Chain A
């Protein structure tokens, strides 16, 4: 990896760390500002298949399949007094690692893969939930900022071991 590639990688690592902080700090409006209007926000359902048959996830059923409007609805919902699933809000800690820049056109677009581990704690519960998976993100450069235009989160469990996904991935 040359110096230029390292700087690009560093830039997206920082983006993902900043994003993680906004979500963990429950700054959903600021987080939403990071999204591009052409957003596709997906989490396919995993499937156990025979052998190495791929893809081992559904191509037509998702746990999230939002565009910018639906994502906005989720953010707005959390601000009503009736979003019981997040009253009190989950304490989350997002660990982002293994960041790899797959495609990059300066000032235009980028494709970035990363691993994500979310620790989730609810209320007084002494148990915690872990959600692990891989993010496949695409970015568009707009008005001096990188905006997320596509996210496909490939979760590692076929049966998700958390009571709901009232949180963002």
Chain B
């Protein structure tokens, strides 16, 4: 056992990183509790994970028209995401280049110009500075507006999912996503998808990693945490969550795929659209899919849920971000997606099933947040660090992967912790780089 007399808060960044290297052992299934409770680890995470990787910022369908905009956050910094007059989606740092004031304080809207509330500098939705009050008079014609455009933020889309990064050297989004794309195709590439309404937002006193960990690989908790769902007849049995596959890919991504499903979980009338967007193998997975729960590293979780409500089966598709606010606090932002060409009745029923199951009032969601909060509280302060309390992630270490039609390392039921070990392996790699 590693012992240290020096609390984390007295260590230099280098020492903390070395300590992580010595104590975090994903491949052996050993994850120390202090990772969820320490402000210093959180600080390093911000720099080495959130400022380096691609982070989800929204969906293209949220800015469907020319002139639409929305504000989002990227690693704690405000972004304006616009669709300009040419239909191109761009992202800018929400900061006036003159004195740094936030240019836009609405969540969304439609306009082609952003005017700074401080001195009235005026920016087009392409980022150009186009107006400066009394410019000629006060700058004597010396102000070079062309160097004062809004700071552009690197933005790329995969099948409508928009990711941004502050890292100029980041690998292309497609490379970063790698094999998880095969599964994202099923999630959001199966048909033209759109966000319904606006995302849900709520604050949970939890470290963000608890959320990612839960979605990347933890189907095991479903039996107990979500035991009420079986009692209410919304799923057939408590062990319902075991059958299927757990899959992980490079860069810490992973998912749990529930199969088989005798009831087609998606709008029947869109089968042709699904087939035209997916490979034969992907369509095979879709048509037999019970549910799909996963996480794109670091903090974008995704979900296709299928339950029985009012004696009718209905699926709902959503993505959610565990946006870190502090070492023990996160904002959960949840977007509900639906096939754009589905019937209004399907859309409404799917939305209402999402609200009932995975919104802040959702009867799955509620119980998760209770667990997330208590786990985070237990990890706080110097004791879990000094006593080197660790979590056990050894489930499935004895198992061999199986062949699967999709890419990645697959296991033939969902009760293993391989995806979580893979998540922490990549996390550690970034943290100690």
Q: Is the interface of A mostly helix, strand, loop or mixed?
A: mixed
Task: Evaluate contact between B369 and A164: CB separation under 8 angstroms.
Answer: yes
Q: A47-B108, A64-B355, A84-B225 are in contact. Are A160 and B197 (CB under 8 A)?
A: no
Task: Evaluate contact between B198 and A63: CB separation under 8 angstroms.
Answer: no
Task: Evaluate contact between B203 and A161: CB separation under 8 angstroms.
Answer: yes
B201 at the interface (CB under 8 A from A): yes
Among A58, A63, A83, contact of B367 (Cβ-Cβ < 8 Å)? A83
A2 at the interface (CB under 8 A from B): no
Among A69, A80, A158, contact of B310 (Cβ-Cβ < 8 Å)? A69
Task: Evaluate contact between B200 and A80: CB separation under 8 angstroms.
Answer: no
- State the CA gap A83–B197 with chains docked (Å): 28
Closest-by-CB residue of B relative to A127 is B205
Among B107, B196, B224, B359, contact of A63 (Cβ-Cβ < 8 Å)? B359
Task: Evaluate contact between B367 and A84: CB separation under 8 angstroms.
Answer: yes
Among B105, B200, B361, B367, contact of A61 (Cβ-Cβ < 8 Å)? B200
Instruction: List the B side residues contacting A166 at CB < 8 Å.
Output: 361, 366
Among B107, B108, B226, B373, contact of A163 (Cβ-Cβ < 8 Å)? B373
- State the CA gap A86–B224 with chains docked (Å): 15
B185 at the interface (CB under 8 A from A): no
B148 at the interface (CB under 8 A from A): no
A97 at the interface (CB under 8 A from B): no
Q: Is the interface of B mostly helix, strand, loop or mixed?
A: mixed
Q: Which of B5-13, B21-29, B227-235 lies on the face that meets chain A?
A: B227-235
Task: Evaluate contact between B232 and A165: CB separation under 8 angstroms.
Answer: no
Chain B interface residue count, CB cutoff 8 Å, equals 43
* B325-349 near A? 1/0 per residue, CB < 8 Å: 0000001000010000000000000
Q: Which of A5-13, A70-78, A98-106, A143-151 lies on the face that meets chain B?
A: A70-78
Task: Evaluate contact between B370 and A60: CB separation under 8 angstroms.
Answer: no
- State the CA gap A43–B356 with chains docked (Å): 12
Q: A63-B360, A158-B201 are in contact. Are A49 and B109 (CB under 8 A)?
A: yes
User: What size tier do the contact residues of chain A reach?
Assistant: 35 or more
Task: Evaluate contact between A163 and B205: CB separation under 8 angstroms.
Answer: yes
Q: A60-B351, A61-B196 are in contact. Are A158 and B107 (CB under 8 A)?
A: yes
- State the CA gap A53–B232 with chains docked (Å): 42
Task: Evaluate contact between B228 and A80: CB separation under 8 angstroms.
Answer: yes
Task: Evaluate contact between B361 and A164: CB separation under 8 angstroms.
Answer: yes
Task: Evaluate contact between A165 and B361: CB separation under 8 angstroms.
Answer: yes
Q: How far is the CB of A32 from chain B (nearest CB, A)?
A: 15
- State the CA gap A130–B309 with chains docked (Å): 31
Among B109, B228, B352, contact of A65 (Cβ-Cβ < 8 Å)? B352
Task: Evaluate contact between B232 and A58: CB separation under 8 angstroms.
Answer: no
Task: Evaluate contact between A162 and B371: CB separation under 8 angstroms.
Answer: no
B45 at the interface (CB under 8 A from A): no
B118 at the interface (CB under 8 A from A): no
- State the CA gap A70–B310 with chains docked (Å): 8
Instruction: List the B side residues contacting A81 at CB < 8 Å.
Output: 227
Within 8 A of A (CB), among B178-230: 196-205, 224-228
- State the CA gap A66–B356 with chains docked (Å): 8
Task: Evaluate contact between B228 and A82: CB separation under 8 angstroms.
Answer: yes
Task: Evaluate contact between A82 and B367: CB separation under 8 angstroms.
Answer: yes
Closest-by-CB residue of A relative to B353 is A70
- State the CA gap A27–B197 with chains docked (Å): 34
- State the CA gap A159–B333 with chains docked (Å): 9
- State the CA gap A157–B361 with chains docked (Å): 15
A45 at the interface (CB under 8 A from B): yes
- State the CA gap A168–B108 with chains docked (Å): 29
Q: A65-B355, A84-B225, A166-B366 are in contact. Are A60 and B197 (CB under 8 A)?
A: yes
Q: How far is the CB of B262 from chain A (nearest CB, A)?
A: 24
Q: How far is the CB of A80 from chain B (nearest CB, A)?
A: 4
Q: How far is the CB of B360 from chain A (nearest CB, A)?
A: 5
- State the CA gap A28–B59 with chains docked (Å): 39
A62 at the interface (CB under 8 A from B): yes
Task: Evaluate contact between A164 and B365: CB separation under 8 angstroms.
Answer: yes
Among B106, B196, B352, contact of A50 (Cβ-Cβ < 8 Å)? B106
Q: How far is the CB of B114 from chain A (nearest CB, A)?
A: 10
B363 at the interface (CB under 8 A from A): yes
- State the CA gap A161–B359 with chains docked (Å): 14
Q: How far is the CB of A165 from chain B (nearest CB, A)?
A: 4
* A8-50 near B? 1/0 per residue, CB < 8 Å: 0000000000000000000000000000000000010101111
Within 8 A of B (CB), among A80-113: 80-86
Q: List B residues at the A interface (Cβ < 8 Å).
A: 105-109, 111, 196-205, 224-228, 231-232, 309-310, 331, 336, 351-352, 355-356, 359-363, 365-367, 369-371, 373
26 interchain pairs, CB-CB under 8 A: A47-B107, A48-B106, A48-B107, A49-B106, A49-B108, A50-B111, A59-B197, A60-B197, A61-B196, A61-B197, A62-B355, A64-B355, A65-B352, A70-B310, A70-B352, A74-B363, A77-B232, A82-B367, A83-B366, A84-B366, A85-B370, A160-B203, A163-B373, A164-B360, A164-B369, A166-B366
Q: 7 closest Cβ contacts across the A-B interface?
A: A61-B197, A82-B227, A85-B366, A165-B361, A82-B228, A159-B201, A164-B366
Q: List A residues at the B interface (Cβ < 8 Å).
A: 43, 45, 47-50, 53, 58-66, 69-70, 73-74, 76-77, 80-86, 158-166
| 9 further interface pairs, Cβ-Cβ under 8 Å (given A62-B359, A64-B355, A163-B205) | A47-B107, A48-B105, A49-B108, A62-B355, A69-B310, A80-B227, A82-B367, A158-B107, A164-B362
